[in-house]
Amino acid sequence: MTSADDLISLVRDYNPKANETRLRDAYEFGEAMHEGQFRHSGEPYFSHPVAVAAILTEQRLDDATIITALLHDTIEDTKASYEEVTARFGEEVAMLVDGVTKLTNLQLSSRETKQAENFRKLFMAMSKDLRVILVKLADRLHNMRTIRAMRPEKQAQKARETMDIYAPLAGRMGMQWMREELEDLAFKVLNPEGRQSIIRRFVTLQRETGDVIHRITGDMRAELDKAGIEAEVFGRAKKPYSIWRKMQEKDQGFSRLSDIYGFRVITRSEEDCYRTLGTIHQRWRAVPGRFKDYISQPKSNGYRSIHTTVSGRDGKRVEVQIRTRQMHDVAESGVAAHWSYRDGVRTENPFAVDPAKWIASLTEQFDGEDDHDEFLEAVKLEMYSDQVFCFTPKGDVTKLPKGATPIDFAYAIHTRIGHACVGAKVDGIRVPLWTRLRNGQSVEVITAEGQTPQVSWLEIATTGKARTAIRRALREADRERFVKLGHELARSAFEHVHKKATDKALETAARALRVSNVTELLARLGAAVITAHDVVQAVYPELTAKEGEEVSPRRAVIGLEPGQKFERASCCEPLPGERIIGITTRGQGVIVHTADCDRLGEFEDQMDRWVDVHWHSGTHPAAYGVTLELTIGNDAGVLGRICTLVGEKKANISNLEFVDRKPDFYRLMINVELRDVEQLHSLILTLEAESDVAAVARYRERSGTHSRPA
């Protein structure tokens, strides 16, 4: 374990003005708090916080971050309290330690918790102070380096979480070296055979070709010396996981893979970067389409470098990165470069990004997402994507993720332009809105007054900003329609229990359901956020309960064993009056299917699970949900008439969802609560007779198709 003196020496190497007393006090306090605790490997537990602090010294971070690393597990795992840490080391350190503790408790990859909600908390913690995530990443890196001491199942869980979350996050923050190491350590756990095969092939290749890296590095240095350019040249073989990913993406074997070597040239000035590029291209043939200039168009995390791929010795492709020393420091530390110290003062690196502005730009588009799953989708789109650079007609550059479309481009310029978009020209040629944009293209957005976002745009857009803006606009446009539909659903549901949906009744329901006002209640009802049954039950719980007691669940299906429960299969939604078959399941009792359900074919070789059941012949309540698929004309009042027809048939609408909207028609799914199959047939006949209903069918999950009732 690194001693206090050695750790302090590591800090003083880059920050001679570091507060040695505070660092030593933190070391001794952490060591005392963790006394008697041990890691899975048998080592003293405090060796882990010390190793995390040592990792952070490699990034030349400030005293507060190093102290936080030493104490990051004290509040959670020892008798130390937030107040004690505050009194001894100050509010700044205490808040950082508390932030790391909260991140540690987030189960980001757990299926048992709300992953999206925890991702939101992760970004909230990052927005308060980005150093929290720097400590957490270093913590994860050391845990992955020592993961072999854990149980195999725990290793796999940590490795998946690292591959899915922490490695991409490190990359998004510009810490590419950490991303690569985290990925490779996780790869070693998740696919050890694949990793070993890559390493064996590397050894064989080196035996056959000799030290390619040494030869090419020497060639580059010789060419730069001829051109009078002072620069450092480094070469390396890419990490096994990076090679494996390229093999999977390109569907190629190792022998056919070209750019498995990478070289880095660090120059004295920006001018020398471009001189170096010219020298390399004069000596070796450039590979078309593999040139990126991140110096003139830097990434949002401050990354600057020139990337090019050339054909080196024996036709082997090699990737070359060219940058200055200051650019290299940011490339190694990413956003963390903001806190870097050199010679006792914080480094004034012109390329370091202000972390507050960076996290604000990253989370700006997520703030409008009320839905946690949509927030998670937007976050992952931003974290996992590479960038392309496109130009406006005036020559301004717009950064977009790989796979972006003109819709994304329009919203990146301004939300108003995105809303009004009706078409686009790419390099002067009119293209569909779903076209994938490529690096260097010029994009012109065509707008029109009166245009509004379309539902289909959600399938076209790829950026979180565009998707959030489209969803918000659609919600606002739908609100008035949802309120009107909610009125009809409420009226029909109240009439179903022989009551009226008066203003007073709706106000009572709004209070009971903790909704701000009646308009909001109706909007949520029309948007299927809440059901009509919920609204009625909030006002008349005794009536809804009484209806549900007509036939008890135990008596609804005949043929079950005493105490055995049943559920209706969601694929076919059987109704009383239909022939049914029961399938026993572990923990769920019996799942009841219609006799003609396609899913029964999955159990043909498990006849011991089949149960001969049939519906009770008595009167059933209107409590069995069935989904109807309707195509209706897009005219005023049509939805209201349909709701009225459903109510007249003594059925209740429990849910409604629009699946397609066109200028002349709507296609929607309606879930209605029915008594039996006869009531279903009667309702379908009534709806088919309505002139504005183009088609109506019972929706069933049958091999991915919809089927009409017999």
Q: Tell me what pLDDT residue 588 has.
A: 67
**Average pLDDT in the 58-81 region?**
89
pLDDT in tens, 104-121: 766 555 443 445 555 666
Same domain, 314 and 421: no
Instruction: Name the domain boundary from 585, 615, 645.
Output: 615
State the CATH number of the domain containing residue 393.
3.10.20.30
Claim to verify: residue 406 and residue 526 sit in the same structural domain = no
pLDDT digits (tens, 9 = 90+) for 534-593: 888 888 876 654 444 455 555 788 888 877 888 888 888 999 889 999 998 876 689 999
Q: Is residue 351 assigned to a domain? A: no
Q: Give 123-148 pLDDT, tens digit per residue.
A: 666 667 788 888 999 999 999 999 98
Same domain, 273 and 316: yes
pLDDT at 386 over 80: no
Give yes or no: residues 145 and 17 share one domain.
yes
If you ran DSSP here, which 8-state letter would residue 451 be given?
Answer: -
Does some domain include residue 387? yes
DSSP-derived 3-state class of residue 379:
helix
Higher pLDDT pick, 350 / 697: 697
The pLDDT assigned to 650 comes to: 81
d(C-alpha 59, C-alpha 175), whole Å:
10
CA end-to-end span of the chain = 75
175 with 137: CB under 8 angstroms? yes
To the query of whether residue 76 is one of the catalytic residues in this protein, the response is: yes
pLDDT at 111: 45
Separation between Cα atoms, residue 164 and residue 176, nearest integer Å: 15
Share of the chain above pLDDT 90, in %: 22
**Partner residues linked to 672 by β-bridges:** 626, 653
Within this chain, do residues 240 and 305 fall inside the same structural domain, yes or no?
yes
Please provide the DSSP assignment of 580-599 as one string.
EEEEEETTTEEEEEETT-GG
Please confirm, yes or no, whether 43 is among the known catalytic residues: no
Whether residue 153 sits in one domain with residue 62: yes
The answer to whether the CB of 89 falls within 8 A of the CB of 26 is yes
Report the distance separating Cα 49 and Cα 70, nearest Å: 5
What is the model's pLDDT at position 710? 34
Residues 6+ apart with CB under 8 A from 545: none
Answer yes or no: do 85 and 153 share one domain.
yes
Place of tokens 């030593």: 24
Give the C-alpha separation, 510 to 539, whole Å: 9
Say how far apart CA 574 and CA 58 lie, in whole Å.
65
β-pair partners for 326 = none
pLDDT of residue 706: 42
Residues 390 and 508 in one domain: no
Beta strand pairing call for 665-674 and 443-447: unpaired
Highest mean pLDDT among 48-52, 56-60, 170-174: 48-52
Nearest to 40 by CA among 150, 185, 156: 150
The CA R_g of the chain, rounded to the nearest whole Å, is 32
Burial class (CB in 10 A: 0-12, 13-18, 19+), 542: exposed
Distance CA(110)–CA(166), nearest Å, equals 14
Same domain, 364 and 503: no
Which residues make Cβ contacts (< 8 Å) with residue 366, sequence separation at least 6?
A: 120, 123, 375, 378, 379, 464, 468
What integer pLDDT is reported at residue 622 of this predicted model? 76
Is position 352 within any domain? no
Q: How many domains does the chain have?
A: 5
Catalytic residue among 20, 25, 43, 76: 76
Cα(317)–Cα(344) distance, integer angstroms: 42
Beta bridge partners, 627, equal 671
Task: Measure Cα distances from 653 to 43, 149, 321, 372, 525 in Å.
Answer: 63, 56, 62, 27, 11
pTM of the model: 0.55
Cα-Cα-Cα-Cα torsion 368, 372, 375, 376, nearest 10 degrees, comes to 170
Do residue 29 and residue 48 come from a single domain? yes
Question: What per-residue confidence (pLDDT) applies to 616?
Answer: 81
- Quote the CA–CA distance of 94 and 86 in Å, as a whole number: 5
pLDDT at 267: 95
Using the 8-state DSSP alphabet, how is residue 677 labeled?
A: H
547, part of any domain? no
Element (H, E) at 684: helix 677-689
Domain holding 329: CATH number?
3.30.460.10
Domain identity same for 264 and 368: no
- What CATH code is carried by the domain that includes residue 10? 1.10.3210.10
Domain end point (choices 564, 583, 615): 615
Q: Can you tell me the distance from the alpha carbon of 219 to that of 283, in angstroms, rounded to the nearest whole number?
A: 9
Q: Which one of 190, 214, 246 terminates a domain?
A: 190
Q: Is residue 710 part of a domain?
A: no
Task: Domain of residue 582: give its range.
Answer: 553-615
pLDDT of residue 23: 93
Give domain status of residue 638, yes or no: yes
- Other C-beta atoms closer than 10 Å to the C-beta of 35 total 11
pLDDT of residue 75 exceeding 60, the answer is: yes
Lowest mean pLDDT among 112-121, 308-317, 422-431, 663-672: 112-121
**Which tokens sit at 210?**
């000799």
**Position 166 confidence tier, pLDDT thresholds 50, 70, 90:** confident
Among 434, 367, 443, which residue's Cα sits nearest to residue 399? 443
The pLDDT score that the predictor gives to residue 549 is 46
In a domain, 175, yes or no: yes
**Placement of tokens 């389409």 in the chain:** 289
Task: Based on the fold, state whether residues 631 and 512 are members of the same structural domain.
Answer: yes
**What whole-number distance in Å separates Cα of residue 172 and Cα of residue 381?**
11
On the CB side of 363, CA atoms within 13 Å amount to: 18
Residue 134 in any domain: the answer is yes
Angstrom distance (rounded) from CA 61 to CA 649? 72
Residue with the bigger pLDDT between 531 and 112: it is 531
pLDDT band at 221, cuts 50/70/90?
very high
Catalytically annotated residue among 77, 164, 219, 676:
77
